[in-house]
Amino acid sequence: MIEVEVKAHAPQDKGALEEKLVEIGARRVGEEFQEDVYFNAPHRDFAQTDEALRIRKVTDESSEKIFITYKGAKMDEVSKTRKEIEVGVEDSHKVADIFQNLSFRPVATVRKNRTIYSLKDLVITLDEVQKVGSFVEIEKEIEEGNDTQEALDEIFATYSKIGIEDGFERRSYLELMEI
């Protein structure tokens, strides 16, 4: 699966932004806390190859879910479009233990509150990232091999509708945290 994704700095007035999202037909899906532990590889430097490997713990009111996520290098110059593979696992400590026995090293932990909206086949998230700041992300998943431009056009048109025309950010939260 390819994740076509564009991130922007959030405007100051979060309330007004959420109102606009509802106006254009977005549906509030929920809110969750995410804790991502990023690992680097022993045989290549993911900061150089632009890959990512993480264990994500997602907590909401009713449950805790754990995922392993691999992200490939970004595929264009304007967005964060990249290959993404995510799989649910039953225990984060055991996965971390396996990674470390394979000589992968935990390099950083990113914690955020994420409010999720859905608009047709787009997912729009408002993120409050600890030590980094507030961001809006709009994302669409497409099959590998499909053209990403159509999805990008749809994403930027949606940004425009909610009044965001600049302040786009290609760097990951991990990269922003390390500045």
Instruction: Answer whether 127's CB lies under 8 Å from 3's CB.
Output: no
101 binds a second copy (CB under 8 A): yes
Q: Is 38 known to be catalytic? A: yes
DSSP 168: B
DSSP 175: H
119 binds a second copy (CB under 8 A): no
78 binds a second copy (CB under 8 A): no
Query: Contacting a second copy (CB under 8 A), which of 35, 50, 53, 113?
Result: 53
75 binds a second copy (CB under 8 A): no
Q: With CB under 8 A as the contact rule, which of the stretches 12-20, 21-29, 68-76, 108-116 interacts with a second copy? A: 68-76
Structure tokens at 156: 């930027």
47 binds a second copy (CB under 8 A): no
In the three-class reduction of DSSP (H, G, I as helix; E, B as strand; rest coil), residue 176 is classed as: helix
Interatomic CA distance for residues 37 and 64, integer angstroms: 15
103 binds a second copy (CB under 8 A): yes
Per-residue buried b or exposed e for 81-118, using 16+ beta carbons within 10 Å of the residue's own CB:
bbebeeeeeeebeebeeebeeeebeeeeebbbebbbbe
CB of 147 to a second copy, least distance (A): 22
By the criterion CB under 8 A, which residues form the site for a second copy? 41-44, 51, 53, 68, 70, 72, 83, 85-91, 94-95, 97-98, 101-103
- Tell me the catalytic residues: 38
